[in-house]
């Protein structure tokens, strides 16, 4: 039984392939089109994932789509009328409940059965069916699906039920995103910047923001709509939000003030407090000790730590691609189960689910261009030893290995790596390689068996979804945030033996089996997908070394004129989506 899950036509489109109840491949469309957050039907991702699984579109038995287009249209019309006749053509084309089915047939070439799974069911199933739990409470929080913004449920061997939901426009995701917009960042993209900015401030606006929320029984709440504009004809906030805060909105890319940091700290605290309150309701209602959590809000790793350490559940599983991309997994899992294929009750431990590109031609490319390189074929110890030596010597290294990660995090397959002990390394990478805001922290990867020596983790963290205190911040300054925390990735030898070996080799040289790990991309671009992407990013950035499979290339050996040629000839300057004004239509 082959089930293809799809998330598309809103943002961050993706696909997932299930074979006989097991997740075998998943990828986001943006990685192939090089258009960040690409919302288009994931034609390229589907083609790549099916090819990687040895399948074609004719082998697919069923397609599972991540939301109900009719339910979504009812909310879109409620939001858009009576202004629809004056709306732009860009908005009007979205008001078409038949569009997903039509594009599945016309663009993917699939004429077979399609099941439309409600959005929050897709999110909840993406967590439950990959958690390995026999039973669990289910929690989903995002901006909005069809109507639901927060959902509560239970899952077990023979049940999957969402029994309560908070409806649009009352939404924790909208509250956080509106403040993101007020702070001059892009909605549905830069919320993590607000999370990163929060430790620099004090939550002096928290009481004012709490005043926007009315707590109600049975997990319900209401959001004061006077401060929000969700029409898409203006930013997400109204003038009333500025009046409430006694502050002016920040212009994008302008300097950040103490007030901006304080506002970020405030919305982060309010989010954490209300999440704890709603999870206490869910725990009391279900009596279950384990939690499965998904939805865009679940990508807030600071709040996730609070949930794990102070919440009512003994065990917490957060879906690593918790946003809409991961809903493709949940839709396919539910349909697989309902069609009798079942879903394998095993824990997701590895999100390297994308295609594994052919690295065979790379050596020939480099040789033809006259670029020196080292080949470590059948020499694992030599490869990781060489990379560890470069890192210990201060090099910033691009690391491209095997199948691509699914979700927003680079976890050792498409990573930029560096020495976390160097006090200047974070500023160096931020300014010269990533070209991003200086306040944003970098994450550490650490061998799982020694994580407790360096970080105060409450459990494992293979997907960078939880923060933890750094035990010796002065020893690891490049990965320690201003509050002494870090977003940790624990690396298991059995899951990723090569990355684990690199960390171990670095540890033998330095005493710290820990590396700074950030995504292999430049600002505004998706994570690299192919060897050509990696080479192009390597050429354009100021990385020192590239490890591409078994090959090692030094930047000093590249022809000086290549950077200009890449900028002229490769399609890396495609426009990103217009996010100055964000529409829930």
Q: What are residue 22's phi and psi, to 5 degrees?
A: -115, 135
Instruction: Dump strand ranges (E) for 221-299.
Output: 221-223, 290-294
Whether the CB-CB separation of 272 and 280 falls below 8 Å is answered with no
Let me know how long the chain is: 585
Residue 548 tokens, joined? 């591409």
Tokens 């502050």, residue located: 247
Assign 3-state DSSP to the chain and report helix, strand, coil percentages, each to 5: 40, 20, 40
Q: What is the DSSP letter of 561?
A: T
DSSP string, 363-420: HHHHHHTT---EE-TT-HHHHHHHHHHHHHTT--EEEE-SSPBPSS---SSEEEEE-T
Residues 6+ apart with CB under 8 A from 380: 498, 501
Q: What is the Cβ-side half-sphere exposure of residue 431, based on CA atoms within 13 angstroms?
A: 5
| Pick from 31, 268, 271: nearest CA to 141 | 271
Helices (H) and strands (E) in the chain, counts: 20, 22
DSSP string, 482-497: TTSEEE-EEE-TTT-H
DSSP string, 192-222: HHHHHHGGGS--TTHHHHHTTEEE-STT-EE
Instruction: Dump strand ranges (E) for 83-237.
Output: 114-116, 136-141, 148-156, 159-167, 213-215, 221-223
Annotation says 481 is catalytic: no
Residues 6+ apart with CB under 8 A from 344: 21, 22
Q: What are residue 369's phi and psi, to 5 degrees?
A: -85, 0
User: What is the SS3 string spanning 135-158?
Assistant: CEEEEEECCCCCCEEEEEEEEECC
Rounded CA-CA distance 299/303 in Å is 9
Q: What are residue 17's phi and psi, to 5 degrees?
A: -115, 125
Residue 447 tokens, joined? 């061998």
Rounded CA-CA distance 69/584 in Å is 14
Catalytic member of 11, 120, 376, 500: 11
Active site residues: 11
């Amino acid at each position: 039984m082959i089930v293809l899950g799809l998330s598309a036509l809103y943002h961050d489109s993706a696909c997932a392939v299930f074979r006989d109840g097991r997740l075998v491949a998943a990828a986001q469309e943006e990685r192939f089109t090089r258009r960040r957050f690409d919302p288009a039907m994931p034609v390229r991702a589907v083609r790549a994932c099916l090819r990687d699984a040895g399948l074609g579109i004719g082998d697919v038995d069923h397609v599972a789509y991540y939301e109900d287009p009719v339910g979504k249209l009812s909310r879109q019309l409620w939001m858009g009328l009576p202004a629809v006749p004056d709306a732009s053509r860009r908005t009007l084309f979205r008001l078409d409940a038949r569009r997903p089915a039509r594009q599945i047939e016309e663009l993917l070439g699939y004429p077979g059965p399609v099941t439309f799974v409600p959005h929050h069911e897709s999110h909840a199933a993406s967590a439950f069916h990959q958690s390995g739990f026999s039973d669990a409470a289910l929690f989903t929080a995002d901006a909005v699906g069809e109507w639901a913004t927060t959902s509560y449920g239970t899952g077990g061997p023979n049940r999957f039920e969402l029994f309560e939901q908070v409806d649009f426009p009352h939404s924790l995701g909208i509250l956080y995103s509106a403040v993101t917009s007020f702070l001059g960042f892009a909605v549905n993209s830069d919320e993590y910047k607000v999370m990163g900015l929060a430790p620099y401030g004090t939550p002096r606006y928290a009481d004012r923001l709490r005043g926007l929320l009315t707590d109600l029984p049975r997990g319900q709440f209401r959001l004061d709509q006077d401060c929000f504009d969700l029409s898409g004809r203006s930013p997400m906030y109204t003038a009333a939000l500025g009046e409430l805060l006694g502050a002016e909105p920040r212009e994008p890319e302008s300097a950040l003030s103490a007030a901006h940091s304080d506002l970020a700290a405030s919305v982060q605290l309010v989010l954490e407090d209300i999440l704890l309150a709603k999870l206490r309701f869910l725990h009391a209602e279900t009596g279950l000790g384990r939690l499965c959590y998904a939805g865009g809000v679940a990508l807030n790793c600071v709040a996730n730590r609070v949930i794990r350490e102070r919440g009512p559940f003994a065990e917490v599983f957060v879906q690593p691609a918790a946003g809409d991309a991961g809903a493709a997994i949940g839709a396919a899992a539910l349909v697989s189960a309902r069609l009798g294929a079942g879903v394998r009750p095993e824990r997701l431990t590895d999100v390297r689910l994308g295609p594994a590109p052919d690295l065979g031609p790379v050596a020939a490319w480099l040789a033809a261009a006259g670029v020196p390189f080292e080949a470590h074929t059948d020499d694992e110890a030599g490869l990781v030893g060489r990379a560890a030596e470069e890192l210990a010597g201060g090099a910033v290294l691009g690391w491209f290995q095997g199948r691509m990660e699914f979700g927003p995090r680079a976890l050792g397959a498409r990573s930029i790596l560096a020495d976390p002990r160097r006090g200047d390394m974070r500023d160096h990478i931020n300014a010269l390689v990533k070209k991003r805001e200086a306040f944003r922290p970098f994450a550490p990867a650490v061998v799982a068996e020694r994580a407790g020596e360096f970080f105060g983790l409450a459990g494992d963290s293979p997907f960078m979804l939880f923060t933890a205190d750094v035990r010796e911040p002065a020893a690891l300054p490049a990965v320690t945030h201003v509050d002494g925390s870090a977003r940790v990735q624990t690396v298991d030898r059995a899951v990723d033996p090569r990355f684990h070996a690199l960390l171990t080799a670095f540890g033998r040289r330095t005493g710290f089996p820990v590396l700074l790990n950030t995504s292999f991309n430049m600002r505004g671009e998706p994570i690299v997908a192919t060897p050509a992407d990696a080479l192009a990013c390597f050429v354009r950035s100021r990385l020192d070394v590239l490890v591409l499979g078994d090959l090692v290339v030094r930047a000093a050996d590249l022809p000086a004129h290549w950077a200009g040629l890449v900028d002229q000839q490769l399609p890396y300057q495609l426009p990103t989506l217009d996010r100055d004004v964000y529409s829930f239509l």
